[in-house]
Amino acid sequence: MTKNVGGIEKILRIIVGIALLAWGFILSDPINWWGAIGAVPLFTALMGWCPLYSIIGVNTNKS
């Protein structure tokens, strides 16, 4: 599993992930999936690896 998510993109993914998670908790509707969707960009940012990027051959990690 080669890291394929770069620095600025990691920061943006963390911000978007936390925002979606917060929105999911604020909208506390029983059928609210925004919190679960927010876990995806947060997880990929923390791991530094995006499975979709691996499939399509994108690499934003410049190291």
> pLDDT tens for residues 5-40?
999 999 999 999 999 988 888 877 766 777 889 999
* Burial of residue 36 (number of CB atoms within 10 Å: 0-12, 13-18, 19+): exposed
Task: Output the pLDDT for position 35.
Answer: 80
Task: Output the pLDDT for position 27.
Answer: 77
Task: Give the 3-state secondary structure percentages of the chain, helix then strand then coil, rounded to 5.
Answer: 65, 0, 35
Residue 3 identity: K
In a domain, 30, yes or no: yes
Split at pLDDT 50, 70, 90, the class of 63 is: confident
Check: CB of residue 62 under 8 Å from CB of residue 48.
no
In a domain, 61, yes or no: no
Domain range holding 20? 7-56
pTM of the complete model: 0.86
Task: Output the pLDDT for position 39.
Answer: 93
The structure tokens 């690896």 sit at 49
How many domains, the chain? 1
In a domain, 62, yes or no: no
Task: Output the pLDDT for position 59.
Answer: 96
